[in-house]
Amino acid sequence: MAEAEEQEEESEEEPKLKYERLSNGVTEILQKDAASCMTVHDKFLALGTHYGKVYLLDVQGNITQKFDISPVKINQISLDESGEHMGVCSEDGKVQVFGLYSGEEFHETFDCPIKIIAVHPHFVRSSCKQFVTGGKKLLLFERSWMSRWKSSVLHEGEGNIRSVKWRGHLIAWANNMGVKIFDITSKQRITNVPRDDISLRPDMYPCSLCWKDSVTLIIGWGPSIKICSVKERHASEMRDLPSRYVEIVSQFETEFYISGLAPLCDQLVVLSYVKEVSEKTEREYCARPRLDIIQPLSETCEEISSDALTVRGFQENECRDYHLEYSEGESLFYIVSPRDVVVAKERDQDDHIDWLLEKKKYEEALMAAEISQKNIKRHKILDIGLAYINHLVEKGEYDIAARKCQKILGKNAALWEYEVYKFKEIGQLKAISPYLPRGDPVLKPLIYEMILHEFLESDYEGFATLIREWPGDLYNNSVIVQAVRDHLKKDSQNRTLLKTLAELYTYDKNYGNALEIYLTLRHKDVFQLIHKHNLFSSIKDKIVLLMDFDSEKAVDMLLDNEDKISIKKVVEELEDRPELQHVYLHKLFKRDHHKGQRYHEKQISLYAEFDRPNLLPFLRDSIHCPLEKALEICQQRNFVEETVYLLSRMGNSRSALKMIMEELHDVDKAIDFAKEQDDGELWEDLILYSIDKPPFITGLLNNIGTHVDPILLIHRIKEGMEIPNLRDSLVKILQDYNLQILLREGCKKILVADSLSLLKKMHRTQMKGILVDEENICESCLSPILPSDAAKPFSVVVFHCRHMFHKECLPMTSMSSPVQFCNICSAKHRGPGSAILEMKK
């Protein structure tokens, strides 16, 4: 049995094509959308989707341009040969033809879905401004010399037009009945190729058309393939017939349903939709599509190669969901399905060596490499000749083999990667990990990722060690992060994994997620981490976690950086945690009574619920909280002290006093309140309420003396009423009265003594002399106060305020007021200074 398998393996033929998924931008597109159609140009690709988008892609699948055409499915895209004009049609009847590099544009919306569109291959020429659209009928649009578009019906009445191909002057299309070819030059339809199997629904099994050259049309419909050749009719045969006719040169059946056709030299590439029957359930199911290379014969075909393709979602696809597009210049074939685009290429010499290595035919591979040394690009002779390491691996001496890699592979990164994959295949990645290069050379990130994955599966501590030791730029950080996260789903509390994940996030500058993990781990330096990396933008949605960790530090940090995280944002984040919201707003209020004024109304409820002792101080200090709202809350919760304060602040002092007396029964508080208000009517109310309550009378007698005449209270006491400690209260009243008299007399003595002392000081000051020299000037004429000639007589007046005047510069004094005052001080209302000195000579 083993020999039979070996012989079968040796006789296995090498495939003709190789496959790879079109990734990059295509992957992103098909994650959210589905491909509906595609067309290929030598320079770029155009991909249409079910959500009405058209993407222009480079050959690697990167998005270069995006067009929002319609909200519904794009049915077909057509490009001219120059790649400068594109036509698009969609399921909602929209048709657009426009220049990719010019402002030229055509728009039209029909009342039915437009299934196909084809622009003239030479649309770039002014004489070839033509295109066709197909829905229920086939329309030809042409631009006239006045730049107006006119349309004409080429065909209708045989169901929806579902496929069209334009080559040169010939237009081929398919409807429900068959395939037609139209000559655009002679404006004649030259043939009708009827459909063979009318039992197949044309919408589920559409016709595939492909021009091999300008006169050879290949038709695939259901399992049938027809190769048609357009030929010129002899002049003698024309009469009323078209100048051309079609001859079917080959016709044969295939095993499966055809989804697409493409020429490959004299062969055909056929994309087939496959249905198989399950052995267990005996039900039909969708199998993987096949890409076959066949050699057409007149009535049959020869299979050259056949590959089953694992495209994404093939189990759910129908025949109509697959398309085969091709690039004539490079022999590239694109297999398009709703969730995947696969590129098939002809295999080169490198692929041949790959196949030999895969089959372990090392001798043949080496020979092929030597013969084709100048042509091969991906292989080196040395790669095939590394027998020593292979020998060690086959013997199971993995550690020695790994150590030898350092010497044999040296700085050749490609060799390192090759050997690492070999170690991976035998499950010995851990053996090679200590010897892997970390600087020169640096291997592909995937190599390091594979080893990290290996440790992650079996050795968390070893994984953490590698993360600490390896530079973070060796591997794709996001891939490792995702792997760690997947493992944390199974063991969410593993501290080793959590700490390692935080380190990965920090290296990747994803400080937000790192911060969240550090918070989960209760890392002591979490606040330092925030300040060090300025992570305030990352913690906007983690404020609750920070508050749960350390509310005091969190609040201080938030308030110190409110320019980065606004008060409004913090309050919103804490909306579901009112106890934390109160802590934040309380600290904010302590810092500044006005910054959070918009939240003062909310704070009333928060203080009432979580911090009643600070409610009254808040009410006292806040000038922004609505008093009516506060009063309502305090009354609902029966907060007497707070209600008393609010009533008094609102001017209802009598009700406040009444509440103190009736609810609190606290005469001292009532007296203090009356003292604060200093209102005679309040004292009167207090006396009236207390007159029949001996304890209250005692309190009033002990405290009223300095504010109200005690006689007013004593006269109202009923005879025979027993008042506790009356004698002591009366004695206290007398003592307070004597104390007031003594205080007044003492204050009077101090006032008289201070006045006398200040009078004497002023007298001594005014008796002192004032220096007058050459530097002084007259404040009126601004001339030197002393004459330059000391022999001349002069007269100077000096005031106590130090201002000096020539006597002649001062106005004359009136007889009614002989006292003279300083003009300057009198004008400035400083209090006039009288003349203190008059100097004459």
Give me the pLDDT at residue 221, please: 92
Rounded CA separation 518/520 (Å): 5
pLDDT band at 574 (very low <50, low <70, confident <90, very high): confident
φ, ψ of residue 569 in degrees (nearest 5): -65, -45
CB within 8 Å of 485: residues ≥ 6 apart: 501
Rounded CA separation 621/623 (Å): 7
Give me the pLDDT at residue 725, please: 64
Q: Which two tokens stand for residue 521?
A: 């781990």
Neighbours of 221 (CB within 10 A): 24
Please state the separation of Cα 116 from the chain's center in Å.
39
Instruction: Quick: pLDDT tens for 532-562.
Output: 777 777 778 778 888 887 788 888 888 888 8
Q: How many CA atoms lie within 13 A of 420 on its CB side?
A: 24
Instruction: Quick: pLDDT tens for 782-815.
Output: 888 888 887 788 888 888 888 899 888 887 766 6
CB of 46 closer than 8 Å to CB of 56: yes
Rounded CA separation 237/502 (Å): 84
Instruction: Quick: pLDDT tens for 445-487.
Output: 888 888 888 888 888 888 888 888 888 888 888 888 888 888 8
Instruction: Quick: pLDDT tens for 83-112.
Output: 999 999 999 999 999 999 888 888 888 888
pLDDT (average), residues 642-646: 79
pLDDT (average), residues 585-610: 87
Q: Share the mean pLDDT of the chain.
A: 83
Structure-model confidence comparison of residues 124 and 840, the more confident one = 124
Task: List, in sequence order, every beta strand (DSSP E) within 1-115.
Answer: 17-21, 35-40, 45-49, 53-57, 63-68, 74-79, 85-90, 94-99, 105-109
Q: Per residue, what are the HEC states of 422-448?
A: HHHHCCCHHHHHHHCCCCCCCCCHHHH
CB within 8 Å of 785: residues ≥ 6 apart: 772, 776, 777, 778, 796, 804, 806
Rounded CA separation 770/779 (Å): 16
Q: Which H/E stretch holds residue 129?
A: none
pLDDT (average), residues 399-414: 76
The answer, yes or no, to whether residue 219 has pLDDT greater than 70, is yes
Rounded CA separation 761/693 (Å): 59
The answer, yes or no, to whether residue 692 has pLDDT greater than 70, is no
CB within 8 Å of 37: residues ≥ 6 apart: 47, 48, 74, 75, 76, 77, 323, 336
The answer, yes or no, to whether residue 832 has pLDDT greater than 50, is no
List the one residue out of 345, 283, 277, 290 whose CA is nearest residue 319: 290
Give me the pLDDT at residue 694, please: 65
Instruction: Quick: pLDDT tens for 152-167.
Output: 999 998 888 989 999 9
Counting every residue, how long is the chain? 841
Any bridge partners for residue 189, and if so which?
Answer: 182
Give me the pLDDT at residue 407, please: 63
Angle (CA) 510-563-549 rounded to 5° is 55
Residues 332, 167, 45, 55, CA torsion sign: negative
Tell me the Cα Rg of the chain. Answer: 51
pLDDT band at 381 (very low <50, low <70, confident <90, very high): low
The answer for 251, left when phi > 0, alpha when psi is -120 to 50, beta otherwise, is beta
Lookup result for tokens 């013997």: 395
> Side by side, which strands form the sheet with 208-213?
208-213, 216-221, 224-232, 244-253
Residue 637: burial class (beta carbons within 10 Å; 0-12, 13-18, 19+): middle
